[in-house]
Structure 1
Amino acid sequence: MAGHATALDAPATLPQGGLARLAFGFDRLLGGFVEALAAALVLAEIIILGAGVTARYVFHAPIIWSDELASILFLWLSMLGAVVALRRGEHMRMTGLVTRVGPQLRAVLEALALTASLAFILLVLHHALEYAEEEAFIVTPALEIANSWRAAALPVGFALMVPVALVRLLRLGQPMAVAVAALLTAGTVIGFWLLGPTLKPLGQANLLIFFVGLVAVNVFAGVPIAFSFALATFGYLACTTSTPLLVVVGRLDEGMSHLILLAVPLFVFLGALIEMTGMARAMIQFLASLLGHVRGGLSYVLIGAMYLVSGISGSKIADMAAIAPVLFPEMRKRGAKPGDLVALLSATGAQTETIPPSIVLITIGSVTGVSIAALFTGGMLPAVVLGLCLCVVVWWRYRREDLSHVTRYSAGQIFRFALVALPAIALPFIIRAAVVEGVATATEVSTIGIGYSVLMGLLVYRQFDWRRIGPMLADTASLTGAIIFIVGCATAMAWGLTQSGFSQDLARLMAAIPGGAWGFLAISILAFIILGSVLEGIPAIVLFGPLLFPLAKSAGVHEVHYAMVVIFAMGIGLFAPPFGVGYYGACATSKVNPDEGLRYIWGYMAALLVGLVIVAAVPWFSIGFL
């Protein structure tokens, strides 16, 4: 994680030999080039999507190739961003164990994080090259170019990661620790390969070995989350199936290529722009004047803000990226712990999963045939129920907050702050209106926010530092790479689970549960919390929605009610550590170490569970307005 030094980031003694200096010089040149290229790709995406919106809405002359070009460049941005994140040490990882052991073991674990990642890169590189060659036979519909121009991002990205990882091992300055980690990694890979004939007859027991055991060992040893998922998937397919390993790269590509994910870098950059232009300061000043004298006031604002902006971008990570930079600095000034902030942000991510226009709701409607309009109507009130449960935890935790240093403002002062903040407060409403009115898609809408923020910064707030744009673009690329690479690896893991027959077995098991509707809802909650932690929302819905929704209907559960229950259950799994990808996304967007949120998040997760039980027990919250 950025901003959290470990032995990996700041070794006590850097190697000083001629070869080391040459390697570090090469790393600076390579790193500078990749960062500049990745930053340029972020800027290119903003321009392309912004031009697409302008051409379609203003000039009524759509650019038919804009989405296709944006999709091609997005895969390159994600892979190059992943390279930048690896070089900076910004891939999301759990370091709870790493930071609690002695210096020698810590050095080994830090080296192991790199050698394990490097092992996956070397194992998959050949297949990534083969995949890019296969894609040469496919021609894109709009630009009419070989799809290998897009797919080549995968082998190029993996190839660039190799020297980056090797230089980071050299920077450790711990040759013995590196040797031990390399031997452990090589021994584990060879051991699993030799055990292949023994593992194959075990059937679905291999799911526990690879997707629970291997993932858990890697995660707690400090291996980046994305590489932990990827190693487990690659190992499962290589050792226990006859599936061509080219498929791993294909599923990785599929997970990283959803156009809706383009909202992530654009909203990350928008969040940085809001802070840089002074819009964030104006908004926070108004919110603090309004609720600053209330204990936990800004935490309530965070819950409400996530409710308002949720679903605008179609990506929960993008929603967080728009909120965290605005609220967190002021909340820290008031004494809030970074761990508590990221825990609450993660919890609101799960709480607001049903707010339309949610991509999860749209996915459920598309794969199950349930009315999307009904899902949109049914999703608003259940999120309020869970939000109120979170507010109870906030009230309890901040009931003794010291407000002696907080100024209580008069009505006149609040009104003046409101006038200053009005252009900033208008931003989320402008963004939502653009989506609702069809001006821009959920992917494109962030470009409207970026354009609006630039104008406000230049013309209204008179605060715009051009020198910060380059570093902001590079930071956006790094964060994008870290997040999207996790999504891609999680998608590959979801596919591996599907091929095991696990989804059909789960459906049969749930159909046999006694207790009618209540028994079915109870087991669904448990199952989808687990599924959400390993599959993420959309893959889980695609896999299990068509199987389970008919069973729910036959058990007497209304389809919209069932949709709300399973979405919240998946959300809790998705945003709960240690496996939930959403939790690490919240940590990445907040620039907070995942370890810091662990002691705080369980109270919020308990509140979400209480809220989920209430929503499950009272169908009216979901279907009362249908």
Structure 2
Amino acid sequence: MESVHSSLDARLGDGVNAPLAIPLRVLTTLVELTAAALLLAEVSVLITGVVWRYVLDSPLTWTDELASMLFTWLAMLGAVLALARGENMRMTAIVNRFSPAAQRWCESVSQLVVALFVAIILLPAGQHASEQMAILTPALGIADGLRALAVPVGAALMLLFAIGNLLMNGGRTAILGGVATIAAIGAALWLLQPAFIAMGNLNLLVFFVLLVGAAVLIGVPIGFAFGISTVAYLTVVTHAPLGIVVSRMDEGMSHLILLAVPIFVLLGGLIEISGLARNLVDFMASLLGHVRGGLQYVLLGAMFLVSGISGSKAADMAAIAPALFPEMKSRGVQGEDLAALLSASGAMTETIPPSLVLITIGAVCSVSISALFVGGLLPALIATVAIAFVCWMKARRADAPTLSRAPLRVVMRTFVIAVPALALPVLIRAAVVEGVATATEVSTLGVIYTLIAGILASLFGKPFAYRRLYKMLVDAAALSGAILLIIGLATSMAWALTRSGFSTYLVGMMQSVPGGATGFMIVTIVCFAILGSVLEGIPAIVLFGPLLFPAAHALHINEVHYAMVVILAMGLGLFAPPFGVGFYAACAIGKTSPDGVGKRIWPYLFALLIALLLVAFIPWLSTGFLGHAAE
């Protein structure tokens, strides 16, 4: 079994302060155990609420309160884990091209930025928790400060890990260089304070374009790049208390809809270890494997069915690729082609429910999640058909071995085994669309369903990887924490932008683009393709969604239609070289060089661009089946 410490050990093994490795590893283990226990408790509380509501028809009033309190602790400790294990969302494409010495300097600056930010918010976070102690929850009568206490505790732990990582990996020269760099930037910002104030809103370019951009490019985790830029802006340009960063961060991370995030991430892990993903691939391969290029279609179909459930595009790709790639390579498909197709399949499925990007849009932009779930299916199908057309064209020109059709008994046997896997995404999407249950309740039901299906399958000889459960819980907590921290810090940054008046200016500017709604849509596609390549989907949505969705509404663009255009544009950027993070994840999963894959992905991306333009300028593709869900 792979150790949950593998990434941590790899980073701690070569440091100049090796004695720090042991206490850091012990602390990491304690955080892992606590986070895993919190995730189990969260699922148990939600399952209790679902059973009492839907089975016993006697809803419990306290489950949502307790789940919300546990959720904040889970989010913060998950964010601590992501930092400890080096799993924060960050851009490394540029840094990886630097010399080893420059990479160490970038890593030192990155850890110093994290340490500086959490040190700055530590006291305001403690004050925020103290203030919340006076507020009691309605059902349980528990002080809300006990929930808010997760923020200063998480910040203190992140400070310890940032300093520990810095000392373990930086080296004296790199650390001193990083300290000097940050001190110089801080002094320059302070000395230029009168000039920034005199610039008016143009100072936003300095703090939220140059500063954020520079931080992201040298590998600072995206959430902390948002956080330090917001703190710098508020300190230098405004008189706003820094406590507002903490309160907005707490508010952004604690939104009740976002409870679905860790549960769907957990569900994705369960689908893999229970064997449901493999069963699905086996059935589709028996059905289409004899067709020229058939396994390419199997890959597309499998990604369409399971995408969005795990909460991570990398997890979706990692669940499907190992089951297909060996057989595809045996049939003569080059590794670079496989990685290119895998990358394109990740981009095409961004709108498929229960995508966490859809849930995030519903949470931060006040759009019906049921409507988003309905509206996302047809655009994803259009994109899938576009990719399939490219696969068909390639298959026609390629030499392929003649393969016999699988016997009917094999098809039927694999179909019966795959029925639970085929039914799960249908049940999840139907339950939310029909309003039977909320996204959080559906994710909980999905966990129960998958556990039962996996256990039953193990009785008939299909292995259930029980030994991976703990690692899966830890991984789910870390991924959820990384996502939720970005949402929280992007919420703080969005507040600062709104306070500055930038949101009003942006809406006015976008509305005045030549061409009306058409020009607005073209600018949206370009902007979100760029944002998707740099920031990934969720932080870009949290940051710019609340600003641009009102502008779209003012131009009489349906919010669901606009959401589909935004998501597909971000997906295109996320998987496009040279900056797309998803592109490099696909290359890593396919164990191929990005240089070779980059040359082969462009036909797929061009097909996706055509699909995006069709969705953008034929609104019916997003809204034609909304019905009551749009209300």
TM over 0.5: yes
Q: State the 1:79 CA deviation.
A: 0.9
State TM-score, norm by structure 2. Answer: 0.83
Work out whether 1:318 is the aligned partner of 2:319.
no
In structure 2, distance between residues paired with 1:364 and 1:164: 30
> 1:15 is matched with which residue?
16
Alpha carbons 1:325, 1:590 under 8 Å: kept: no
Q: 1:271-310 to 2 correspondence within 5 Å?
A: 271-294=268-291, 297=294, 300-301=297-298, 303-305=300-302, 307-308=304-305
Determine if the alignment matches structure 1 residue 95 to structure 2 residue 88: no
Asked whether the equivalents of residues 565 and 612 of structure 1 are also in contact (C-alpha less than 8 Å), the reply is: no
- Deviations along 1:127-157, whole A, 9 cap, x unmatched? 2122222222322222222211111111100
Please tell me whether the aligned partners of residues 204 and 500 of structure 1 are also in contact (alpha carbons under 8 angstroms): yes
Correspondence 1:209-358 to 2 at 5 A:
209-294=206-291, 297=294, 300-301=297-298, 303-305=300-302, 307-308=304-305, 318=311, 320=313, 323-333=316-326, 334-335=328-329, 336=335, 340=340, 343-352=343-352
In structure 2, what is the equivalent of residue 168 of structure 1?
Answer: 165
State the partner residue of 2:454.
457
Moved more, 381-390 or 153-162: 381-390
2:203 is matched by which residue type in structure 1?
N
C-alpha distance in 2 between matches for 1:323 and 1:279 = 13
Where do 1:151-190 residues align within 5 Å? 151-172=148-169, 174-190=171-187
- Contact 1:267-1:322 within 8 A present in 2 as well: no
Where does residue 496 of structure 1 map in the other structure? 496
Q: Is the 8 A contact 2:132 2:145 kept in 1?
A: yes
Contact persistence 2:307–2:316 (CA under 8 A): no
Within 2, Cα distance between the matches of 1:361 and 1:86?
25
> Which deviations, in whole Å up to 9, do the C-alpha atoms of 1:251-281 show, x marking residues without a partner?
2112211222222222222222222222222
State how 1:329-478 maps to structure 2 within 5 Å: 329-333=322-326, 334-335=328-329, 336=335, 340=340, 343-352=343-352, 359=359, 380-395=377-392, 404=401, 408-436=405-433, 438-462=435-459, 463-478=463-478
Partner of 1:542: 546
Relative to structure 1, is the Cα distance of residues 509 and 177 closer, same or farther in structure 2, using a 3 angstrom cutoff? closer
Q: What are the Cα deviations for residues 276-320 of structure 1, in whole angstroms up to 9, with x where unaligned?
A: 222222222112222334566455445545655678x7xxx6275
CA–CA distance in 2 between the matches of 1:594 and 1:140? 52
SS in 1 for 2:451: helix
CA shift at 1:572, angstroms?
1.5
Aligned pairs for 1:588-607 (under 5 A) are 599=598, 605-607=605-607
SS at match of 1:444: helix
CA contact (8 A) 1:71 1:257 kept: yes
Distance 1:294 1:217, change over 3 A: farther
Quote how far apart the aligned CAs of 1:328 are: 2.5
Distance in 1 (alpha carbons) for counterparts of 2:36 and 2:300: 32
Distance 2:498 2:57 in 1: 43
Superposed CA deviations along residues 157-185 of structure 1, whole A, max 9, x for unmatched, are 01011221222222226222222122222
Partner amino acid for 2:251?
E
Do 1:303 and 1:387's aligned partners in 2 also have CA atoms closer than 8 Å? yes
State the match for 2:481 in structure 1. 481
What residue is the counterpart of 1:556 in the other structure? none
CA 1:512–1:468: 2 relative to 1, 3 Å? closer
Q: How has the CA–CA distance of structure 1 residues 516 and 155 changed in structure 2, closer, same or farther, with 3 Å as cutoff? A: closer
2:23 maps to 26
Please list every run of 5 or more consecutive structure 1 residues that lacks an aligned counterpart in the other structure.
554-558
Q: Partner residue of 2:332?
A: none
Contact kept in structure 1, 2:428 and 2:443, CA below 8 Å: yes
Structure 2, gaps ≥5 residues long: 330-334
Deviation string, structure 1 residues 377-432 (Cα, Å, up to 9, x no partner): 76554443333334344556676677549775233322221122222222222333
Change (3 A) 1:388 1:205: farther
Aligned to 1:117: 114
- Alignment partners' CA distance in 2, 1:174 and 1:377: 53
C-alpha distance in structure 2 between counterparts of 1:138 and 1:589, whole Å = 47
* Partner Cα separation in structure 1 for residue 5 and residue 573 of structure 2: 21
Change (3 A) 1:172 1:541: closer
Return 279-288 or 64-73, whichever deviates more.
279-288
What is the percent sequence identity of the aligned residues?
42
Question: Equivalent residue for 1:197?
Answer: 194
Q: How many residues in Structure 1 have an aligned counterpart in Structure 2? A: 606
1:565-604 equivalence runs, <5 A:
565=562, 567-573=564-570, 576-577=573-574, 599=598
Instruction: Answer with 498-507 or 570-579: which moved more.
Output: 570-579
Q: Which amino acid aligns with 1:611?
A: A
Distance 1:24 1:377 in 2: 49
**1-structure distance, mates of 2:487, 2:593:** 21
User: For residues 220-240 of structure 1, what are the alpha-carbon distances to aligned partners after superposition, in whole Å with 9 as ceiling and x for unaligned?
Assistant: 211112212222222222222
RMSD of Structure 2 on Structure 1 (CA): 4.0
